[in-house]
Every structure is written in C-alpha cells, then in structure tokens.
Amino acid sequence: MNADQVLDAKGLACPMPIVKTKKAMNNLEAGQILEVKTTDKGAKSDLTAWTKSTGHMLLDSKEEDNVFTFYIQKG
C-alpha cells in the first residue's frame, strides 16, 4: 500500500504512538494515507479505537517480526 507519509513510532511506549499519530495526521489532507510502525503491544487496540473515534479509517494492519504496521486514511 502506498502511504503519503510514514511515521516510525517503534520503541515508543504508551501514550506516545497515539500522540505522534495524531500530530502526523494534522499535517495530512483528507484522503491521504499515513503508515504507522510501532512495537507497543497495546497499539493494535489503541490505534483501532483511536481511528474509529476520531473519524479516520484504518485501511489495513499487519504484524511482522514484532513490528505492527497500520495504514490509516485521514477522514
């Protein structure tokens, strides 16, 4: 998937992945896609809940070698 911006939040602990994601999202236009990489095990639930509640869309997510990758489209 082609992302307009990539956010590397690997190694960061709660609440930083969400805080950084929100900051990165502010710089995007509606419809653009942000790719977020994180290693925080709570991030899957966190980012899923966050995108739902803030009006964005979680297009896809995957886990590889303990790194979670999320594709979020700005709403």
As measured in angstroms, the least distance from the Cβ of 12 to other proteins is 6
Question: For the residues of 5-26, what is the DSSP string, one character each?
Answer: EEEEETTPPTTHHHHHHHHHHH
Secondary structure element (H or E) that encloses residue 69, with its range: strand 67-73
Catalytic site residue 14?
Answer: yes
Residue of 4, 5, 12, 32 interacting with other proteins (CB under 8 A): 12
As measured in angstroms, the least distance from the Cβ of 46 to other proteins is 8
User: Helix 16-26 vs helix 43-53: angle between axes, to the nearest 10 degrees?
Assistant: 40
**66 touching other proteins, by CB under 8 A:** no
Q: Say which of 13, 14, 57, 67 is annotated catalytic.
A: 14
